[in-house]
Every structure is written in structure tokens, then in C-alpha cells.
A and B are shown apart, each in its own frame.
Chain A
Amino acid sequence: MHKLIEQARQSGRHLLEHEASALLQEYGLFTVPCILARTSEEAEHAAVTIGFPVVLKIVSPQIIHKSEAGGVKVNLVSKEEVHQAFAEIMTRAKSYDQTAELMGVLVTAFLPDGTEVILGMNRDAQFGPVLMFGLGGVFVEVFKDVSFKLLPISEEDAHEMIDEIKGRVILYGARGQKPKDIASIAKALVNLSRLVEENPEINEIDLNPTVVFEDKIAILDARVLI
């Protein structure tokens, strides 16, 4: 068993976001650089290290839906904004769940607009682990425009997954836009498949959002449930 999973299991919780990032990185799945900050001062220091603008996100084993808890602040451009955001996140998180253990915030780079996609894995009662891919936002929530494959998948399978969604035209470059980095999405799906195969303790993975640019992809938020 992977030591990060074992640790989380022993403390009876899911993987924390920075742990999930570390695990994903071992499988070639790169989340945007992030630093755990326990205090407002640490957050400022992390923001300077990463470079402005930055995003602050709450870190708490009890809070899975961070936005819902008011635990996410984006596009922070100065030290002052970082301090203010830190204080606000802590207050809101406390009122969202008074029993929640607040470990601090995760500071990450705020990236320019790209195309949001979702990569995920869920366990089906009948068929076991199933990979999911789709465009983010309204495409997944309203149109349910997602594709599924049973594990394990090859790179060819990954490309099929991408081609199966109706919104694929957006990735291939619609309305005069340049095509997005589809090869990197495919690689990420294959890596995700390998990660799940080798770590059967994982019940659910949500890389949401993952942002695709013309030359790279960036995983902005990773949830690994065990």
C-alpha cells in the first residue's frame, strides 16, 4: 500500500489535497505548484515564492466541497489580498463546520483562462473502476456530456474517450481557436488508469477542474477518496 494512502487510512480520513498532489505526481499527473500554509504569514511567503496572482484554498479533512464552504479565493494579486483572503477563508470555514479541523490553506498559482475539463474515476458496483472524461462546467452538469471507459485503458482508448464527447470540437479548436493539448489529456487519462490499477484502495478520484491550454494541461484541484 502506498505510504500516503496508509497514513490517511490510519488517521481515518481521505487524502489531503497536497498529499493527493504528491501521489498524482508520482504517476506523471502534475497539479499546479502548491504550498501548504498554516498561518497568514506562511501564506504570504508561499504567494511570493509561487508568484502572483495566486489562489488560496482551505485544507481540512472534514471539508471536501471547498467552494461551498467559502474556502476558495482566486486571483489574489498582492500580499494584502492574501492576508485578507486567509482571514476570510478561516472565518467562513469555521462557520461552515464548527467541528472541522482547519489545517491551513493551500497556495497555488492562478492560471490564465483555459478550457476546463474533468478527469475522474469512480467505482461501479458491477464493473469496478470506471474512468470518466468530460468538459467542465455546464457541459458536465447540464448536458452530462461525459464518456466512460472501464480500466485499464491504453492511449488509443484514451483518445476514443476524448472523441466520444460531443464537446470535443472545442478541444480540437472551434471558432478560430488553436487546438488544445489533446495528447496531454490522453496521457493523463492513461496515467490515471495506472494509478487506480496500482492503488486499489482508492475509491474515487476527481481532477476537477483540470485546465487545458494549447501546450499543456494543469490540474487545479485533485480529490482522492479512499
Chain B
Amino acid sequence: MSSRKDLDYYFYPESLAVIGASTNPYKAGYQIVKNMLDYGFAGKVYPVNPKETEVLGLPCYPTLNDIPGNLDLIVIAVPSPNVKSVMKEAALRGGIKAAIVVAAGFAETKVPELVEQEKEIVAIAHQAGIRVFGPNCVGIQNTRNNLDTTIEPPVVKTQGDISVITQSGAMGGITLLFMEEQPTPLGFAKWAHVGNMSDVDILEILEYYGEDQDTQVVGMYMEGIRDGQRFLDIASKVTKEKPVIILKVGRSEIGSRAAASHTGALAGSDKIYDAAFAKCGVTRVDHIEELVDVAKGFSMQPLPYGNRVCILTEAGGPGIVAVDQLGFAKNAQLACISAEGREKLEACLPSMASICHPDGYIDITAAAMSEHHVDALKIVLDEPEVDSVILITVPPTFLPPVELAQSLLPTLRAAKKPVFVCFLAGKWCDEANTLLEVNGIPTFKMPGQAVRVVDKMIERKKYLDKISQREGSAANA
């Protein structure tokens, strides 16, 4: 197993021990073991606690030394003053590759003795060849082997291709909750909370996700980093292959001070972070909902070829809202519809339809039935100067949403260009939205969300074009 990477022992341990395992449901040491069992982790789980003989039906070991055979990962769930002695015990036992330290109360307090203690723990671990996650962290989830070392809210874990890195356990947990709440749960591959980053940091995980076959999109909650150059190097490498979406807090001065006290990370000027993200092709978002929306777009749809967006709406107001928001977009612009395309639209749409006022905006009106939606969508998708489509509809009583979704699906699934769908009428459209997403078509509750997503996807396309152009000209030089 010498080819295994350090982080493989975290994400794919064959065996793990929970130190501080407990029969008390109010303790982390109970919940971690329970998570493993409930989720059905495939490897071996060894509870460790000298005061217990059994935890949740598993035999409990007095010390790490009593555990027979191989032991890859230890989850240290004891109070902070006891962590050091556990790490010493782990070092003496030998053979352990990875440790997760749950307890808070180390370097993040900025108390010199506690900062020192964290350093000592890492030094003990490193001498014995053990890597350290945390302290002040909940660890890892992997949907491929049913691993969950966390005490995160017990949500259903849907498999998917989005992987999450977080500097806050809570924000990471909330991200999964939002993903799970989508019309069709947006699944994830891996999830990691790094805490104080005394050893393993967000960049090492980002690099690992970059090489991970199961990960197609990376989402990150970031408070700050310590090594800007390393971030640029790793992020540039990963964004060439897959989108990296980062919610970086500290937009305001006061917010950046809050971030600095949370993880003790260096908080730089926010505008410089913008410049850094632009340099290495990171997609920056402002809040969790946007992170999930953008991840959904990247995960479900191809990148648009260019920046020209057609807004096709059955309802005037929401359509205008979308056009209005597009006016503020950094990259997206309304598309151009050819004279031929306009004629085709006129020929098949209700007479009151408003075609291209302004150009690229088509209101097929509430008189439109399923076939009008489908025909108009086909025509705009065929237009050479349309790179993506936002389709908005507020299905009236005489147009059952599921029927409409069903008629649209063949065209949506065959489309080579990305389409972002907004069926807007609350619960009336829930079933239709679920049906669309099961079939890989992303839906959004409001047009503004779709506009932001398409704008970020265009931004990524522009970045990739710029990079390949640069590499092309470098190769020719």
C-alpha cells in the first residue's frame, strides 16, 4: 500500500478507532461511533475508552495498544487537556497513519501555552509518521465508503460529484443541508472540515480533490489562508480540470476581523483575494445558497460556449426581472436572435408574443401551451448566437407543470447548450422541478439565481479560453 497518499488514510481508512467513545448520547464520542454504524461504514471501527466495555454493541478497548492488527485512522474525541497523552499513546503503538483531533481550545484561542501545546501534539504525531487533522474540527465524510467521522446534523447522504472543503464545521454542514434540500438532492462525493489546520490544510485537500476521480466540482468555505503563493499554484492546477467554487468571507473589514479570530487565519484585503481568485480561475460566490446553485450548474450542465444568454419566458414580470439582473452581470449578455430565427418564432408562437424587445428576450406569454414552450426552446437553441438559455415559466391552471416538464424533457436532454430552468410557482411546481432535476436539468426558484449561475459559468469559460490561448501561444513561441 505504499502508493497510497497520506490523505487516502483519512478518506479510505480500512480501520479506525474512536478515542473517547462513550455510551452517553450527549457526548461526541457516542455520536461519532453511532454515525459510523448508522451510515454503515465498510471498515473496522474500534471504540476506545478504559471506562467502557461496550459502545453501541461494539467491544470497547481500554487503550489503543489493545487494538489488534492494523489501525489507519484515529479520531481523538477526548477533552483538549487529554489530547497530548492520547497522541503519545498513538505514537507508541505505531502503525497509525492519520489522526483527527476534535477538541477545541488550542491555537485558535491565541493563548501562548495552548498554541504551544498544539505544536507539541503535531510534533509527537509527525515523529511517529501520523498526519493531523484539526484540532477544533469534525473531520471527514466520504459517500463512497460510507465514512462519517463528524458530529454534523444527520442528513441523508446522497452520492454525487461535488466535494466540499470547509474551515467551519457548521458552514460545511449547512452546505450539505442546502444541497440535500434541492428538488432532487444534489449529491456529494467527499467532505472535509479542517479546523485549525495545524498540519493538513485546505490546500492539501484541494489538491487531493483535484486528483480525485469521484470529484468533478469543488466547493469551499474559506476564512483565510496562510500561504498565498501555494494557494495560487494549487488552485491554478485544479481549476484547469474542474471548477473550484469558494465562499470566502471577510468582504467587510469587520467581517474579516471576525474571520481572523475564528480560525486564526491571516485575513488579507478582500480586493486582493478577488484579484487572486481571478488569477487562478476560482469561482467566487457570496453566500451558501449561491455556492449550491453554482455547484448545481457546473455539475449538471456543460459550460456555455460564450457569453450570449437568451431569456425565454412565459411570464412577463419574472422575465423582466431576469433581464434586469443580467444587466448587472459581469460576463453575461443578452443574445442576438437572427432575422430567420425571429420569423420562425413569430410563425409558431401566440400572436401576442413579444419577440426580441430587447433582442435576446422572448416573452411567449401566458397563452403559451406546452408545444409553444418546446418549439420556442428548439428555435433559440438552434440559433448560432445563443450560447445558453434561461427558461422561465409560471404554469397557469390549464398547464399542469409535470406535463409541461415532460414535454420539454426530450429537447432539454438533447441540448448541447446549457439551459437553466425556472418553474416559478412554489409547491405547484415541486414535482415538475424534481422530474427535471432527476433528468439532469438544473432548476432554480428565482430567475436571479439562474442569471448568477450562468454568469459564473461564463466567467469560468472565459478563464479556460484565456489559459488555453496563453498555453497555445507559449507553445508556438
Contact = CB atoms under 8 A, between A and B. Distances in A.
Interface of A: 124-128, 130, 146, 148-150, 154, 156
A127 B470 contact: no
A211 B225 CA distance: 37
Given A125-B268, A127-B268, A150 B276 contact: yes
Nearest to B229: A128
B279 A150 contact: yes
Nearest to B228: A126
Interface string B220-233: 00000111110110
16 contacts: A124-B228, A124-B268, A124-B272, A125-B266, A125-B268, A126-B226, A126-B228, A127-B229, A127-B232, A128-B228, A148-B272, A148-B275, A149-B279, A150-B278, A150-B279, A156-B466
Contacts of B229: 127-128
Given A150-B232, A150-B279, A126 B466 contact: no
A127 B466 contact: no
Contact of B275 (A125, A130, A154, A156): A130
Interface string B274-286: 1110110000000
A149 B276 CA distance: 7
A169 B232 CA distance: 32
B4 interface: no
Contact of A154 (B231, B268, B271, B470): B470
A149 B278 CA distance: 8
B271 A127 contact: no
Interface string B171-207: 0000000000000000000000000000000000000
A225 B269 CA distance: 21
Contact of A126 (B266, B271, B279): B266
A154 to B, nearest CB: 7
Interface of B: 225-229, 231-232, 266, 268-269, 271-272, 274-276, 278-279, 466, 470
A67 B417 CA distance: 58
Q: Which of A124, A127, A150 has the most CB of B within 10 A?
A: A127
A23 B266 CA distance: 34
A198 B225 CA distance: 27
Nearest to A160: B278
Given A125-B268, A126-B225, A126-B268, A149 B466 contact: no
Nearest to A156: B466
Contacts of A150: 232, 275-276, 278-279
Given A150-B232, A154-B470, A156-B466, A127 B266 contact: no
A127 B228 contact: yes
A203 to B, nearest CB: 16
Contacts of A149: 275, 278-279
Given A154-B470, A156-B466, A148 B271 contact: yes
A91 to B, nearest CB: 40
Contacts of B279: 149-150
A150 B274 CA distance: 10
Contacts of B227: 126
Contacts of B272: 124, 126-127, 130, 148
B269 A124 contact: yes
Nearest to A151: B279
Contacts of A128: 228-229
Contacts of B470: 154
Contacts of A124: 228, 268-269, 272
Contacts of B231: 126
A148 B268 contact: no
B210 to A, nearest CB: 20
Contacts of B269: 124
A149 B268 CA distance: 15
A127 B231 CA distance: 9
Q: Which of B227, B228, B272, B274 has the most CB of A within 10 A?
A: B272
Contacts of A148: 271-272, 274-275
Q: Which of B232, B269, B466, B470 has the most CB of A within 10 A?
A: B269
Given A124-B268, A126-B276, 19 more contacts: A124-B228, A125-B228, A125-B268, A126-B228, A126-B266, A127-B229, A127-B272, A127-B275, A127-B276, A128-B228, A128-B229, A130-B272, A146-B271, A148-B271, A148-B272, A148-B274, A149-B278, A149-B279, A150-B275
A146 B228 CA distance: 21
Contacts of B274: 148
Q: Which of A125, A150, A154, A156 has the most CB of B within 10 A?
A: A150
Contacts of A127: 228-229, 232, 268, 272, 275-276
Contacts of A126: 225-228, 231, 266, 268, 272, 276
A154 B278 CA distance: 13
Contacts of B266: 125-126
A6 B466 CA distance: 37
Contacts of A154: 470
Contacts of A125: 228, 266, 268
Nearest to A148: B275
A197 to B, nearest CB: 14
Nearest to A122: B272
A128 B271 CA distance: 14
Nearest to B230: A126
A149 B273 CA distance: 10
Q: Which 9 A-B pairs have the closest CB atoms?
A: A126-B228, A127-B228, A148-B275, A150-B279, A126-B268, A127-B276, A124-B272, A150-B275, A148-B271
A126 B224 CA distance: 10
